[in-house]
Structure 1
Amino acid sequence: MPGYLWREEGTVKWLVWKAFLDTGLVSHGFTTRHGGFSTGEFATLNMAFHVGDDPDHVLANRERACRALEMNPAHLVAGQQVHGDRVAVVGKIHRGRGARTTENALPATDALITGEPLVPLSSYYADCVPVFLLDPVRRVVGLVHAGWKGTYLDIAAKTVEAMGRFFGSRPGDCLAAIGPSIGPCCYEVDMPLVNLFKQHFPFWQELLFPNPSGKWQLDLWEANRRILVEAGLVPENIFLAGVCTCCRQDLFFSYRGSGGRTGRMAALIMLT
């Protein structure tokens, strides 16, 4: 089920999940490409430093988006995303890591979890899958960056497991939201990747579909949904936006749709 809503403040527009809002425990959102200061291929709300945009524009964009979500931009915590499966447990001592530069972001980190309030987690996207996690019982949140490599490495399940190991979270209590990312409509892949997924996922026939060109379409949304179910989440507690970033380049940055040079949206979540 989708379960998402749009929010706007001034020129900034972002997406939220009703189930997360209803807990009253978090501020969260997934930004669009609208409402910022960047120009050219980064127009306008590029949230990432590493893509070649003017750093001053990125800082101004983060300031504007974070203020809209009632987060302190100087406190953002980010990882240096490498399409791996490392999950970092963070707290107030990590606030500011990756907030103003990628240089001091957490090395080789594609998932973040925290049980401390007022620690805004952030990760950055232009087709990869953002997974938001919330345990409303133990009061733990997480963000997962899952491209095809992270999906293949089961990073979403590893993040749920880490929430249990470090904070006592039970998967059955957790909520998950799978945000806008490249959909099966646009994600064409070749045989080496197809073979990897066939070997790794028993349910691969639900993820891969041949197309008329002789290649395959891959459904990363369903892959991550199934990974979360296998990790113990209740299917009804998993919310899928079902919005393709490549189809909707009017709203989102798309790495594949742009040919490789583009901005990034941010996934943001913080216990309040």
Structure 2
Amino acid sequence: MVHEPFIQTEDDLLLIPEWEKHGRHIIAGFTTRLGGIGQTPYHSLNVGLHVSDDDSIVIKNRQLVSVKLDFPVEQWVIGEQIHDSNIKKVSRSDWGKGALSLNSAINGVDGLYTKDKDTLLVSLYADCVPLYFFAPKHEMIGLAHAGWKGTVGKIGPKMIEMWKNEGIDINDILVIIGPSIGQEEYEVDANVIRAVDQALPQTEAPPYIESRPGHFLLDLKTLNKQLLIEAGLPSNCVKTSQYCTARRTDLFFSHRKEQGKTGRMMSFIGMKS
């Protein structure tokens, strides 16, 4: 039986309860599309400022989430997310960046990490893969936004390498691969598969199957896990959510399933003092 690392709360959030046992006052999880004030096609908890929704509604939705998490929006940190593999270490001095406006987000990054408490790392999704990183012994947390470009750009392994350079033993790092589009719903062309083949060692089983001539169903979650393990992360330190954003549009926004006109969920991770 596959263990699902996320549980849904009464507030319609998905949380990672197993990380709370480490006693570091950590909160980590993923929002759903439920419990907000937005209207169709952004119904209802859209937290993305870049999808042509009313900014004032998006900000109110973010404030609703901040209350649910008991984490002030002024202490959130959000990157620009350009579908690349750039990562930045942030601190309390970055509080508020990207939280209430697009132009204040940290430029050119899809990955964030920190050791500073009371800092909530946030990134936004509607099918791409959220990667959560936690090193309990070192009180380090991180997030990475992994679309297919960031994935083949090895944003996950790059986070691991940066943490190793911070003096963290790779065996002390835990990773959870969050809700995202599943293989059955994610068809890509041969150009994407060529990039996947270049990123993945030939010894690994391909995380895709041909669906029709020149097109393939790609398992982005499995690809990210394969790349993390290839980078040296023990397989028992990686857990994967079974939630598919495209199959559960009752619970999630899906860019692919809803043909591009939809809202965004957010991943989040923070440590409280």
TM over 0.5: yes
5 Å-filtered alignment, 1:192-231, equals 192-203=191-202, 205-212=205-212, 215-231=215-231
Q: Which residue of 1 aligns with 2:9?
A: 8
Query: Following superposition of structure 1 onto structure 2, how do residues 26-175 of structure 1 map, counting pairs within 5 Å?
Result: 26-165=26-165, 167-175=166-174
Q: 2:67 and 2:233 mapped to 1: Cα distance? A: 32
Range moving further from structure 2, 66-75 or 140-149: 66-75
Per the alignment, residue 188 of structure 1 pairs with: 187
Farther off after superposition, 208-217 or 260-269 = 208-217
Q: Return the alpha-carbon distance in structure 2 between the equivalents of residues 70 and 163 of structure 1.
A: 28
Gaps spanning 5+ residues in structure 1: where?
none
Following superposition, the deviation at residue 213 of structure 1 comes to 5.8
The structural deviation recorded for 1:6 is 2.2
Identity rate, percent: 35
Contact 2:6 2:241 in 1 (8 A): no
Quote the RMSD (CA, aligned, Å). 1.4
TM-superposed CA distance for 1:194, in Å, is: 1.3
Cα distance in 2, alignment partners of residues 45 and 2 from structure 1:
27
Shift of 1:120: 0.5
What SS does the corresponding residue of 2:245 show, helix, strand or coil?
A: coil
Matched residues, number: 269
In the alignment, the residues of structure 1 paired with residue 233 and residue 65 of structure 2 have an alpha-carbon distance, to the nearest angstrom, of: 30
Give distance in 1, aligned partners of 2:120 and 2:159: 17
Contact 2:9 2:15 in 1 (8 A): no
SS at match of 1:145: strand
Q: Between 181-190 and 59-68, report the one with greater CA deviation.
A: 59-68
SS for the counterpart of 2:181 is coil
Deviation string for 1:151-203 (max 9, x for gaps)? Answer: 010001101111222x3222211111111101111110111111221233125
Per the normalisation by structure 1, the TM-score is 0.95
The aligned amino acid for 1:63 is Q
Q: Which moved more, 1:59-68 or 1:150-159?
A: 59-68
CA distance in 1, matches of 2:136, 2:248: 32
TM-score scaled by length of structure 2: 0.94
SS at match of 1:60: helix
Please give the secondary structure, in 2, of the residue aligned with 1:189.
strand
Q: CA deviation at 1:18?
A: 3.1
